[in-house]
């Protein structure tokens, strides 16, 4: 059985990837997790996977997961020497998904996205230097590494321009993360995945990620929208992203090192998304698009973000971070991944209305349930591996 060392497996994308790795591909996973004990680790994984599977499915995942206590921001990933030794001995590949999405904190991004990625690379090098075979190293990055853009179609090999300004510390540190992978793992098979705006799941309305969904819902409720209706929004569902990452990571032969996981030239415009919402909610009025309001709107959001903590400041912070990615009218060519998988992602217009309806119903908070009692017993026994 193949064993994959995974970071970020309890995040929005990572949980979907983990579920596919275990249940579809039947691999074993050494999962780096920031938790004080086995019970907390199981509960954290339950909350991450609850939207995707039932108790039987969760039990199947647990049967193939070894929890590795650690932290991306800590030296040597915060793992015990015993855990590191077992990983070096048994792991066949590394899938690095973990990252901080705190785009406003350079320190957080440096500690996790830069230093953490370097530590994962060092683990890969240690495996190889001890004479073990590492089949592949995969890094989940972001299309944000392309920096400031306007009205473009960006191809994988043309995305990195070191003379171009970055939107935020998140984009900058992920760009350097890619650079380290390419420079330090040249002798290994490596993949870099760049998701675009990942929002919702095309298979169901439920989601555990609400930041971008809340921004979308706020905009959907505005009678006047401060952007050009022809602006393309490169939005892709998490199920497509997870399938691409898991399947290509485990594939023996791939044609490229870098893949955009995006909607590409099929990205829908703001007008098309508004029309899809009108079809689902005929009682609504079509919004008026006023592009010249974009800059005043952005300035207002920045001002709100600087207010004392409140619901208004949180909305301001949300749009201060995401607005540049909404209005830059840039899409990321996805022909490579579509050819590799044999299908394109479901368009956002096909599921955005149900996503909006459900997110509003639960007030942008996933209705988590307690860890089922059957797993409480497992946490106390020997059925769950914890290193």
CA 216-48-35 angle, to 5 degrees, is 125
Cβ atoms of 179 and 141 closer than 8 Å? no
Query: Domain for residue 249, yes or no?
Result: yes
Provide the domain limits for residue 240. Answer: 3-199+234-264+330-347+366-386
78 located within any domain: yes
Does residue 269 fall inside a structural domain? no
pLDDT tens, N- to C-terminus, the chain (387 residues): 899 999 999 999 999 999 999 999 999 999 999 999 998 999 999 999 999 999 999 999 999 999 999 999 999 999 999 999 999 999 999 999 999 988 778 899 999 999 999 999 999 999 999 989 999 999 999 999 999 999 999 999 999 999 999 999 999 999 999 999 999 999 999 999 999 999 999 999 999 999 999 999 999 999 999 999 999 999 999 999 999 999 999 999 999 999 999 999 999 999 999 999 999 999 999 999 999 999 999 999 999 999 998 988 999 999 988 999 999 999 999 999 999 999 999 999 999 999 999 999 999 999 999 998 888 777 666 678 888
Q: How far is CA 219 from CA 227, 333, 360, 366, in A?
A: 10, 26, 13, 21
Query: For 77, which DSSP code?
Result: G
Residue at 191 is within a domain = yes
3-state secondary structure of 330: coil
CATH code for position 156: 3.40.50.720
In a domain, 60, yes or no: yes
pTM: 0.96
Report yes or no on 145 lying in a domain.
yes
Number of domains in the chain: 1
Strands (DSSP E) found in the chain: 3-7, 28-33, 65-69, 93-96, 136-140, 153-154, 190-195, 197-198, 224-225, 232-233, 235-236, 258-261, 268-269, 288-289, 331-332, 385-386
First-to-last C-alpha distance (Å) of the chain: 19
């Amino acid at each position: 059985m193949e064993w994959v060392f995974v970071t970020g497996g309890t995040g929005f994308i990572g949980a979907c990837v983990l579920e596919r790795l275990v249940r579809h591909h039947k691999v074993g996973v050494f999962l780096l997790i920031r938790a004080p004990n086995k019970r907390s680790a199981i509960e954290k994984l339950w909350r991450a996977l609850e939207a995707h599977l039932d108790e039987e499915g969760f039990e199947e995942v647990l049967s193939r997961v070894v929890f590795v206590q650690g932290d991306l921001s800590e030296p040597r990933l915060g793992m015990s020497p015993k855990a590191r030794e077992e990983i070096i001995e048994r792991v066949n590949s590394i899938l690095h998904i973990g990252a901080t999405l705190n785009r406003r904190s350079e320190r957080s991004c440096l500690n996790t996205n830069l230093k953490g990625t370097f530590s994962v690379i060092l683990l890969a090098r240690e495996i190889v230097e001890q004479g073990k075979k590492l089949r592949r190293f995969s890094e989940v990055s972001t299309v944000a590494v392309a920096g400031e853009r306007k009205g473009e179609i960006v191809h994988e090999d043309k995305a990195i321009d070191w003379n171009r300004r970055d939107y935020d510390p998140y984009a900058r540190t992920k760009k350097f993360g890619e650079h380290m992978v390419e420079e330090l793992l040249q002798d290994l098979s490596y993949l870099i995945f760049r998701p675009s705006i990942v929002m919702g799941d095309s298979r169901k309305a439920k989601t555990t990620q609400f930041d971008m969904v809340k921004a979308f819902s706020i905009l959907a409720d505005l009678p006047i929208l401060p952007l050009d209706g022809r602006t393309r929004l490169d939005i892709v569902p998490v199920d497509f992203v997870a399938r691409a990452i898991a399947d290509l990571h485990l594939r023996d032969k791939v044609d490229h090192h870098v893949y955009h996981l995006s909607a590409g030239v099929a990205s829908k415009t703001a007008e098309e998304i508004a029309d899809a919402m009108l079809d689902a909610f005929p009682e609504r009025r079509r919004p008026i698009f006023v592009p010249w309001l974009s800059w005043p709107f952005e300035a207002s959001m920045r001002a709100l973000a600087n207010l004392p903590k409140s619901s208004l400041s949180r909305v301001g912070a949300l749009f201060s971070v995401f607005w540049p990615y909404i209005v830059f009218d840039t899409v990321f060519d996805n022909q490579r991944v579509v050819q590799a998988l044999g299908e394109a992602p479901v368009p956002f217009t096909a599921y955005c209305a149900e996503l909006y309806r459900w997110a509003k119903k639960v007030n942008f908070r996933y209705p988590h349930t307690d860890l089922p009692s059957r797993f409480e017993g497992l946490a106390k026994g020997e059925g769950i591996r914890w290193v």
